[in-house]
């Protein structure tokens, strides 16, 4: 054994290749953990989005049923029917439907849909009592049809338009509907 070999065995350089391999191994484990975390996060988000889409589709189908039951797809200029139409158009838009699709459901063009949605926003912002009374029948029907859909508290809070809806959410929490 030469003096140089003895120096290598006793010095840090002797274990350096092993440390280098260990370092690479740890880096690859970190990379694998990051990939697994991203995959798990993406999988969770995809499942959550899938549940959200399924819930939205059920709600849209419920609105379509209400339109057919109430005859809101026919031409009427009665205040009651116009207000109910405005309420349902706003709900459909909140669910992500396009103006054209909403208009097709009600046999209206996109401009009429935009006008109705703006009216709905105005009436709810002003807390118009007449508007609330007129849409209460359709709103109750919509709520009853959606009772079998598992509610999402975050979605409900974010879609609130006034304090009355927040009180409704509070009652749902007290009844244990959210879990």
Determine the pLDDT at residue 88. Answer: 94
pLDDT at 91 over 50: yes
- Helical H segments across the chain, by residue range: 3-10, 16-70, 79-94, 99-106, 110-126, 129-145, 153-158, 163-175
Tell me the per-residue pLDDT of 16-67, one tens digit each, with 9 for 90 and over: 556 566 767 777 778 888 888 888 777 777 877 787 788 888 899 999 999 9
Distance CA(68)–CA(74), nearest Å, equals 9
Q: Whole-model pTM above 0.75?
A: no
Q: What φ, ψ does residue 151 adopt, rounded to 5°?
A: -75, 150
Distance CA(175)–CA(17), nearest Å, equals 64
Closest CA to 35 of 24, 27, 20: 27
Tell me the per-residue pLDDT of 129-170, one tens digit each, with 9 for 90 and over: 999 999 999 999 998 888 777 667 777 787 777 788 888 888
Q: Hunting for tokens 């049809």 — which residue is that?
A: 145
């Amino acid at each position: 054994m030469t003096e140089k070999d003895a120096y290598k065995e006793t010095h840090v350089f002797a274990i350096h290749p092993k440390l280098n391999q260990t370092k690479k191994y740890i880096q690859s484990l970190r990379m694998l953990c990051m990939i697994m975390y991203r995959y798990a996060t993406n999988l969770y988000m995809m499942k959550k989005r899938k549940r959200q889409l399924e819930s939205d589709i059920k709600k849209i189908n419920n609105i379509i049923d209400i339109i057919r039951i109430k005859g809101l797809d026919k031409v009427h200029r009665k205040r009651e029917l116009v207000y109910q139409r405005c309420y349902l158009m706003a709900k459909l838009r909140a669910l992500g439907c396009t103006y054209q699709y909403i208009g097709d459901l009600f046999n209206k063009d996109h401009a009429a849909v935009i006008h109705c949605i703006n009216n709905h926003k105005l009436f709810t912002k002003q807390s118009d009592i007449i508007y609330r009374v007129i849409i209460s029948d359709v709103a109750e029907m919509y709520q009853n049809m959606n009772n079998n859909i598992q509610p999402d508290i975050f979605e409900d809070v974010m879609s609130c338009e006034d304090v009355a809806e927040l009180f409704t959410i509070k009652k749902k929490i007290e009844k244990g509907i959210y879990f």
